[in-house]
Amino acid sequence: MFYHVTRNPLEVTLGNLLDRSLAQGWHVVVRGADAARLAMLDAALWQGPQQRFLPHGLAGGPQDADQPVLLTTRTDVPNGAVTLFSVDGAEVTAAEVQQMERVRILFDGNSDAAVQAARVQWKALTGAGCKAEYWSEESGKWEKKAES
């Protein structure tokens, strides 16, 4: 699932989607391309809405395997996640798409480079036989705009 983020900051959209994944009982890994950016997301997720507690942690600690949501730049999945979120252009392979319950690729629709990277990912994954959906919040609510 490709999410074209244009209206809310990434951390807001990510937090909402993480809530939904946790409500399903799924462990999640959030893969980013940059450790400093993930540290900023980590802080933002802790400061989310007061009515929400979003249990998560940055990879590299002794409790990685126990984290319901693990933020990492690595490709391993020490917390047994069945859902993968890719942010900031982090790589996703076709094998991961086949193994996971859900794979969500979030990209900044206000960045030409991020949009181009998402297009490359779409072509690579659909070209490898993965089914994909493209979601946009352009209208103010999330709507599926395309699928392969």
Mean pLDDT (the chain, rounded) = 94
Q: Note the pLDDT tens digit of each residue in 61-81.
A: 899 999 999 999 999 999 999
Q: Note the pLDDT tens digit of each residue in 79-126.
A: 999 999 999 999 999 999 999 999 999 999 999 999 999 999 999 999
**pLDDT, position 32:** 97
CB 2 within 8 A of CB 105: yes
**pLDDT, position 13:** 93
CB 106 within 8 A of CB 13: yes
Strand residue runs (E) in 6-141: 28-31, 57-58, 69-72, 83-87, 102-108, 133-136
As a whole number of angstroms, the distance between CA 32 and CA 71 comes to 7
Q: Which CATH number fits domain 2-147: 3.40.50.10110, 3.30.70.3280, 3.40.50.720, 3.10.620.30?
A: 3.40.50.10110
Q: 147 is written with which tokens?
A: 């699928």
